[in-house]
Amino acid sequence: MFDVNAIRADFPILSRQVNGQPLTYLDSGASAQKPQVVIDAITKAYSEEYANVHRGLHYLSNLATDKYENVRQVVAKFLNAGHEDEIVFTSGTTEGINLVAYSWAMENLQPGDEIVLSVLEHHANIVPWNFLRERQGVVLKWVDCAADGSLDPQAVIDAMGPKTKLVAVTQMSNVTGTRVDVKTICHAAREKGIATLIDGSQGAVHGPVDVQDIGCDFYPITGHKLYGPSGSGAIYIRAERQAEMRPFMGGGDMIDTVTKDAVTYAKPPLKFEAGTPGIVQTIGMGVALDYLMQIGMENVAAYEAKLAAYASEKLQNLNWLNVQGTAPGKGAIFSFTMEGAHPHDISTVLDKKGVAVRAGSHCAMPLMQHLGVTATCRASFAMYNTTEEVDRLVEALELCREFFG
Does residue 41 contact residue 287 with C-beta atoms inside 8 Å?
yes
CA atoms of 266 and 276, how far apart (whole Å): 15
Residues with a known catalytic role: 363
CA atoms of 323 and 378, how far apart (whole Å): 10
The DSSP bridge pattern shows strands 358-360 and 376-380 to be antiparallel
